[in-house]
Amino acid sequence: MDRLYDVAILGAGVAGLTTAYRLRGRDIVVVEAAGHIGGRTLSKRFDDGSWANYAAQYVSSDKVKVIELADELGLALVPSGYHSDELRGNRGSAAEQAEIDRWVARLEAEMANPRPPSAPELDGISVAAWLGDAPEHVHAFFERWCGQLIFASTIETSLFGLMLLWGDQRTSAFTAEPVPRSNRGDTVFAGGTNTFTDALAKASGAELRSGESVTRVLREGEGWAVISRGPAGERTIRARQVVCALPAPVALAVIEGLPPAKVLALGAIRYGRNVATPIAVLPAGGRGTVAPSAPSRPGAVYNTNGFVLKTPGDIARDGGCYHSYVHDVHARVIWDDNVESIQSGALRAFAAQFPELAGRVHWIGFQRWEHALAQYRPGRQALQDDLEASLEGLHFCGDYVITANMDGAARSGEAAAAKVLASL
To ligand FAD, the closest distance from the beta carbon of 321 in angstroms equals: 14
Give the per-residue contact string, 319-358, with ligand FAD (x = CB under 6 A; - = no): ------x---------------------------------
Residue 344 near residue 293 (C-beta atoms within 8 A)? yes
Within 10 Å of residue 214's Cβ, how many Cβ atoms?
A: 25
| Minimum separation from the CB atom of position 286 to ligand FAD (A) | 27
Closest to ligand FAD by CB, 52 vs 138, is 52
Nearer to ligand FAD among residue 131 and residue 342 (C-beta): 342
Q: Does 406 bind ligand FAD (CB under 6 A)?
A: yes
Q: How far is CA 147 from each of CA 199, 309, 341, rounded to the nearest angstrom?
A: 31, 16, 23
Q: What Cα–Cα distance (Å) separates residue 408 from each residue in 118, 157, 232, 324?
A: 18, 18, 34, 23
CA-based nearest residue to 63, from 150, 179, 195: 179
Terminal CA-CA length for the chain:
21
Minimal distance in Å, beta carbon 369 to ligand FAD?
Answer: 4
Q: Least Å distance between CB 91 and ligand FAD? A: 23
77 binds ligand FAD per the rule CB under 6 A: no
CB 381 within 8 A of CB 334: no
Piece in contact with ligand FAD (CB under 6 A), picked from 28-36, 68-76, 156-164, 218-226:
28-36
In contact, 39 and 17? CB cutoff 8 Å: no
Q: Does 40 bind ligand FAD (CB under 6 A)?
A: yes
Q: Are the C-beta atoms of residues 223 and 106 closer than 8 Å to each other? A: no
Q: Which is nearer to ligand FAD, 138 or 403 (CB)?
A: 403
10 makes contact with ligand FAD (CB under 6 A): yes
Where is 235: in which H helix or E strand?
strand 233-244
Distance between alpha carbon 83 and the CA centroid of its chain, in Å?
19
Separation CA 274–CA 375 (nearest Å):
13
Nearest distance in Å: CB 204, ligand FAD: 14
Residues 265-294 that bind ligand FAD (CB under 6 A): 274, 276
| Contact flags string 360-389 toward ligand FAD, x per CB under 6 A | ---------x-xxx----------------
Q: In sequence order, what E strands does 94-212 have? A: 187-189, 207-210
How far apart are CB 81 and ligand FAD at their closest, in Å?
13
Contact window for ligand FAD (CB under 6 A) among 152-160, 233-241, 286-294, 400-408: 400-408
Radius of gyration for the alpha carbons in the chain, expressed in angstroms and rounded: 22
Interface residues toward ligand FAD, by CB under 6 A: 10-16, 31-34, 39-41, 55-58, 63, 213-214, 245-247, 250, 254, 274, 276, 325, 369, 371-373, 398-399, 404-407, 409
